[in-house]
Amino acid sequence: MNLTDPSWAIEADGLVKTFGANRAVDGVDLRVASGTVYGVLGPNGAGKTTTISMLATLLRPDAGAARIFGHDVVKEPQLVRQLIGVTGQYASVDETLSATENLVLFSRLLGLGRAEAKRKAAELLEEFGLTDAAKRPLKQFSGGMRRRLDLAASLIAQPPLIFLDEPTTGLDPRTRAQMWDTIRRLVSSGSTVLLTTQYLDEADQLADRIAVIDRGRVVAEGTADELKASVGSSSLQLRVADPRDLGDAQAAIERVLGVRATTSPEAGRLTAPMRDADRVTELLVTLREAGIHLTELSVQKPTLDEVFLTLTGHGVEADDTADDASAEPQFEGSRA
Amino acid sequence: MTTATIVPGAERALKNHVSLGQTVRNSLSMAYRGLLKIKRTPEQLVDVTLQPILFTLMFTYIFGGAIAGDALSYLPFFLPGILVQTVITTSVVTGVQLREDMDKGVFDRFRSLPIARVAPLAGALLADTVRYGIATTLTFVTGYLMGFRPEAGFGGVLAASVVVIVAAWALSWIFAFFGVIARSAGSVQGISFLVLFPLTFLSNAYVPADTMPDWLQWFVGINPVSHLVTAARGLTMGTDVTGDLFATLLGAAVVVAVFAPLTVRAYMRKA
């Protein structure tokens, strides 16, 4: 692959950002093709926002390089800014101004004339269903309205690449679905979108390709189907009555399902990817024949937790990482 | 989404620098934002409306008799002094408010836009000249009501006002710099007043310098605030102040030339 191939909207190689002793982003590589939606999936503090900030010229990388449509983010920042729209995790609009005033201001800054800016603002407000609230102060806006206005502001210059940092975090399910529709329409007009999310479901719904990021590193990359295949479409959770049976149960799972189950000894719990529901019957029979008694049996759709458990061998909670041999620094104070 | 399809990134004509024309346009747009903010939150104008009235009244009657025999004879000397003091104090508020403003999410968007880097700062500072204008007007109106009748008439008052506002705008870059590097709005205020008090009080703003000890007279002589006060005083009295006027404007230009790039650099590093 050519390094400066313009068909890549984003190319990042070994991006690093350190805040004090904390390596918030620790060598991230990304390749995002033009005209696609790319999901960056990871828990809080994984380095998602920091990565976006570097790609959007808001933060200078400590090491590594990134190009947006072939233009280096450090050497040609002003040029890169003409190609991107950024919608932050916290709505980056002016609280003291009304919705119309915000959009007119950003339009004027982007070089539109007075009349053109007003027309553009009205058009975007209409499109995002904010016309009724156009003149109201932003303080009275709901979270969803703010996000919509924020997204509208990012679209004024019709940038070919749009960064959406956790566009639906904190939104209620109905508003989230509306936001998803908006993002889908956006992509159909030819934009490239890089979105970060904590929800596997969201990445699954929207993204063509997904990178799973953890502790500042990309731990997996692929299409949603590839990722799900790696964790099984669902996971099987078992709780054994006697914790001493845990090892035997794990061995049985490996023999029958052909996968390795993760154990949580203190809870007597086993979690295994489940690709084929039929095989579970065989497993249960095997366990009964071995005299292993179960207190609980459940099937769970893959959650980010499972993806993590499978991909990294540790969960998203910080306390699960204590026994991790590599003992990487933990990310409490990250900007991400 | 919109009817138009997006022009692909590779097919766009782009440049990596910002022209002077665009810098001015961006700064004016940001100044427009500053004015809208003032319109939305008029309570921020308390300092520039009450302070000029209060200070002018207070100091005229406190110092007037002791220094010039009576309050009325003190006014022509004192009013340009208190004007400079009031307007410069106001320019500190510029730095404090900039700090508060920069903590808001909207500054992240400004940083991600292809606009001149200096524009968010220059615009904010430019909009604040409205505050200086209000403070100036109220100081002169208060003085007029107290019996101040400047020899150079309205033209002289206007010229003095413009010079003071230009100088305050230049000084506000210093406080903007503190605003950018400081951790909190409170510390901006702290550092700024530490600079401001010696500069305004160790000048000829309140009293003629000739009763001060030699070393202090020397400082008062080189203090740029003294030049500004002398220039403003001369303009309202109609005396020749070319030298002080030149020194003031040169000083203002130097402050901007030094602090504007410093402030923008610090602002970019923070980004």
Contact A109 B113 (CB under 8 A): yes
Q: What angle do CA A48, A50, A54 make, to 5 degrees?
A: 120
Closest CA to B196 of B88, B95, B59: B88
pLDDT at site A231: 65
Domain ranges of chain B: 21-270
In terms of pTM, does the model score above 0.90?
A: no
List chain B residues with CB under 8 Å of A194: none
> Which site among A19, A80, A89, A109 would you substitute to test the B interface, given the most B Cβ atoms closer than 10 Å to its Cβ?
A109
Residue A3 domain-assigned (yes or no): no
C-alpha distance from residue A20 to each of A55, A113, A290, B270 (Å)? 20, 44, 53, 15
Within 10 angstroms of residue B3's Cβ, the number of other Cβ atoms is 6
Residues 6+ apart with CB under 8 A from B100: B185
Single-letter residue type at A176: R
The DSSP letter of residue B237 is: H
Same domain, A136 and A185: yes
Same domain, A161 and A238: no
A6 in B contact zone (CB under 8 Å)? yes
Contact A94 B2 (CB under 8 A): no
Task: Please name the residue that has the structure tokens 């003291």.
Answer: A96
Same domain, A115 and A192: yes
Contact B32 A34 (CB under 8 A): no
Chain B contacts in chain A segment 234-293 (CB below 8 A): none
Q: What confidence tens digit (pLDDT) does each residue in A162-206 have?
A: 999 988 888 888 888 888 888 888 888 888 999 999 888 888 889
- For residue A222, the cross-strand partners are A210
Distance CA B172, CA B145 (A): 30
pLDDT at site A322: 35
The DSSP letter of residue A330 is: P
Distance CA B236, CA B75 (A): 11
Q: Report the residue of chain B nearest A152, measured CA to CA.
A: B1
Same domain, A103 and A146: yes
Same domain, A221 and A254: no
What is the pLDDT confidence band of residue A31, given thresholds at 50, 70 and 90?
Answer: very high
- Strand order across the beta sheet in which A192-197 lies: A84-87, A161-165, A192-197, A37-41, A209-214, A217-222
Same domain, A136 and A248: no
Same domain, A73 and A153: yes
A58 in B contact zone (CB under 8 Å)? yes
Q: What is the 3-state secondary structure (H, E, C) of A166-211?
A: CCCCCCCHHHHHHHHHHHHHHHHCCCEEEEEECCHHHHHHHCCEEE
| Chain B closest-CA separation from residue A40 CA (Å) | 20
List chain B residues with CB under 8 Å of A7: 10
The DSSP letter of residue B206 is: S
Q: Extract the tokens encoding A233.
A: 């479409």
Phi (first) and psi of residue B93, to 5 degrees: -60, -35
C-alpha distance from residue B127 to each of A261, B148, B209 (Å)? 64, 29, 35
List chain B residues with CB under 8 Å of A95: 104, 106
Same domain, A238 and A223: no
Single-letter residue type at B195: V
- Structurally, chain A folds into a number of domains equal to 2
- Average pLDDT (A34-60) is 90
Single-letter residue type at B91: S
A160 in B contact zone (CB under 8 Å)? yes
Give the best-scoring range by mean pLDDT among A5-9, A184-188, B58-62.
Answer: B58-62
Same domain, A208 and A259: no
Q: What confidence tens digit (pLDDT) does each residue in B105-120 have?
A: 788 888 889 999 889 9
Residue A314 domain-assigned (yes or no): no
Helix (H) or strand (E) holding A105: helix A99-109
What is the domain-level CATH number for residue A293? 3.30.70.920
Give the best-scoring range by mean pLDDT among A105-119, A252-266, B171-185.
Answer: A105-119
Same domain, A152 and A22: yes
Same domain, A180 and A244: no
Same domain, A195 and A242: no
What is the pLDDT confidence band of residue B9, given thresholds at 50, 70 and 90?
Answer: low
Contact A59 B271 (CB under 8 A): yes
Domain that holds residue A245: 233-301
The stretches of chain B forming alpha helices (DSSP H) are 20-40, 46-68, 71-102, 106-112, 119-127, 129-145, 153-181, 185-201, 214-222, 224-237, 242-270
Those residues of chain B whose CB sits closer than 8 Å to some CB in chain A are 1-2, 4-10, 12, 14-18, 22, 25-26, 29-30, 32-33, 36-37, 40-41, 104-115, 119, 271
Contact A97 B18 (CB under 8 A): no
How far is C-alpha A25 from the chain's CA centre?
15
| Chain B closest-CA separation from residue A121 CA (Å) | 13
Residue among A58, A95, A190 minimizing CB distance to B6:
A190
What single string gives the DSSP state of each residue in A46-62? SSHHHHHHHHTTSS--S
3-class SS of residue B8: coil
B1 pLDDT more than 80: no
A90 pLDDT more than 80: no
Distance CA A307, CA A220 (A): 10
